[in-house]
């Protein structure tokens, strides 16, 4: 018998269906297929943060891939989490690793990779791939 979404899965989600504002809170729900190894991919081309030295905006495409263990990431909480970096001064390499660390802390996945492809500025594009393996 297939294991679908249960009412108890929804009871732990506090952001979904509510008014939005930036938030550092990442929410998860139970993985009903913990014995199967499968990859979840989440991506956006709307990530922004600012340069900690100049205050200029930086734009990036963020791709998150992970193999869940017992938890799955709720996508609206991820959207609000990424939005929270909009006015945050941080270098590209640091923000990519911060995102990975925060995801690993809440998901405890089998594997996770965060790729951040920042727009060209000053003639140079920067792409960072940060990876976690259990």
Q: Give 84's DSSP letter.
A: T
**Which of 106, 58, 113 minimizes the C-alpha distance to 78?**
106
Determine whether 58 is an active site residue: yes
The catalytic residue among 45, 49, 58, 101 is 58
Structure tokens at 7: 């009412």
Q: Which of 9, 49, 51, 101 is catalytic?
A: 51
Tell me the pairing of strands 71-73 and 28-30. antiparallel
Active site members? 51, 58
């Amino acid at each position: 018998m297939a294991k679908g979404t249960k009412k108890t899965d929804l009871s732990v989600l506090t952001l979904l269906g509510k008014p939005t504002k930036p938030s550092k809170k990442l929410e998860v729900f139970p993985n009903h297929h913990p014995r199967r190894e499968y990859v979840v991919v989440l991506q956006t081309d709307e990530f922004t943060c600012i340069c900690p030295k100049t205050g200029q905006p930086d734009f990036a495409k963020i791709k998150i891939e992970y193999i869940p263990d017992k938890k799955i990431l709720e996508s609206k909480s991820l959207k609000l989490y990424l939005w929270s970096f909009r006015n945050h001064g941080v270098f590209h390499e640091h923000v990519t690793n911060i995102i990975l660390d925060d995801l690993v802390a809440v998901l405890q996945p089998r594997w996770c990779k965060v790729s951040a492809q920042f727009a060209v500025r000053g003639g140079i594009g920067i792409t960072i791939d940060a990876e976690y393996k259990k």
